């Protein structure tokens, strides 16, 4: 998909955003735009917006690997003390200023890309990875970043800091969206807030929905557009580990390492009631607008558009959910 900056509503349903996209070609990026999530690959003139819970591990690994022949330190992740050293290719890591980054974003010679995810699914994925109780396992990423996560003391988890307990229920996490202060952790931030997207998305050549079945094909398309030689990425360890070749339609294809894959797409509807889906839909409403997304089929069957859920009092759906 090539984005031209026009926002037409959620899949043509005429829903209007609560913000106005800045369509000037000279928007100045700021720190509060989460500009540090823009991955910069100067050798191939690629700028990639890495959104949390949208295969961010996979894309950070991929671009580290592609840059390794030019900068061997890209393969020295262990000295950073964590399993996946994010930020290795941020604008600051290249000694760029925000002005330099803004100029590159507005330069047509640079390929700009972002993958986004359906918000109801992304929210479940964040909950499953960060908050849901699950059996302990080996969270070591084999074959790429061989650094296991260090043990954490009680109370230090993502969910303890945000929700006050290590394993809150899904309902508790959803209802936290309605409370202040708002959640600042990237895993729950709306996607349109990353990289200044709502102000610069018209500059992007690739704006794609993350889909396991097509992720390899779409990444190949992106890298080819940036003139990365085929042999560079087709034989690349990170590329093949995160975007493996598979039979068309194979749902097992994952764009994340096994320890980081939650398979939220396959189970998402089982987490929601109408009431909970309404809250999440409203919270991430501007994501649906900016990326012109539709809600999943299972949610449409609940009458999202007929009942005007973007303005609905979600609490009125509690009784509907408990009816026999």
pLDDT in tens, 77-117: 654 444 456 888 999 999 999 999 999 999 999 999 999 99
β 111-116/38-41 pair status: unpaired
Per-residue pLDDT at 263: 54
220: pLDDT confidence band, cut at 50, 70 and 90? very high
Long-range contacts, stretch 87-94, CB < 8 angstroms, 24+ apart: 87/36, 88/60, 88/64, 89/39, 89/40, 89/41, 89/60, 89/63, 89/64, 90/36, 90/37, 90/38, 90/39, 90/40, 91/35, 91/36, 91/38, 91/40, 92/36, 93/40, 94/40, 94/42
Confidence of residue 309 (pLDDT cuts 50, 70, 90): confident
pLDDT in tens, 277-307: 999 999 999 999 999 999 999 988 888 776 6
Predicted TM-score (pTM) of this structure: 0.82
Give the domain ranges of the chain: 10-322
d(CA 183, CA 200): 24
Cβ count within 10 A of residue 18: 8
Give the pLDDT confidence score for residue 311 in this predicted structure: 85
Closest CA to 5 of 20, 19, 23: 23
The pLDDT of residue 320 is 76
Mean pLDDT computed over every residue of the chain: 81
pLDDT of amino acid 124: 97
Q: First CA to last CA across the chain, in angstroms?
A: 43
Confidence of residue 152 (pLDDT cuts 50, 70, 90): low
């Amino acid at each position: 998909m090539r984005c031209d900056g026009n926002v037409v509503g959620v899949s043509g349903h005429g829903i209007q955003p609560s913000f106005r996209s800045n369509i000037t070609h000279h928007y100045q990026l700021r720190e509060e735009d989460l500009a540090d999530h823009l991955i910069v690959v100067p050798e191939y003139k690629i700028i990639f917006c890495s959104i949390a819970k949208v295969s961010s591990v996979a894309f950070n690994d991929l671009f580290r690997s592609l840059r390794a022949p030019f900068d061997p330190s890209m393969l020295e992740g262990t000295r950073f003390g964590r399993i996946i050293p994010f930020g290795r290719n941020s604008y600051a890591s290249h000694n760029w200023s925000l002005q330099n980054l803004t100029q590159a974003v507005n330069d047509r010679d640079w390929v700009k890309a972002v993958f986004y995810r359906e918000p109801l699914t992304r929210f479940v994925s964040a909950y499953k990875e960060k908050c849901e109780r699950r059996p302990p396992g080996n969270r070591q990423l084999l074959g790429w970043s061989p650094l296991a996560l260090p043990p954490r003391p009680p109370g230090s988890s993502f969910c303890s800091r945000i929700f006050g307990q290590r394993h809150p229920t899904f309902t508790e996490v959803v209802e936290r969206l309605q409370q202040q202060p708002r959640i600042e952790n990237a895993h729950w931030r709306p996607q349109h807030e990353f990289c200044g997207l709502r102000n610069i998305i018209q500059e992007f050549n690739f704006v794609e929905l993350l889909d396991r079945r097509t992720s390899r094909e779409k990444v190949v398309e992106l890298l080819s557009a940036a003139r990365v030689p085929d042999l560079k990425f087709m034989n690349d360890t990170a590329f093949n580990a995160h975007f493996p070749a598979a039979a068309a339609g194979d749902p097992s294809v994952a764009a994340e390492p096994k320890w980081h894959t939650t398979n939220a797409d396959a189970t998402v509807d089982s987490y929601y009631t109408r009431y909970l889906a309404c809250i999440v839909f409203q919270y991430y409403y501007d994501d649906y607008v900016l990326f012109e997304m539709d809600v999943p089929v299972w949610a449409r069957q609940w009458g999202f558009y007929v009942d005007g859920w973007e303005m609905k009092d979600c609490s009125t759906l509690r009784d509907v959910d408990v009816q026999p």
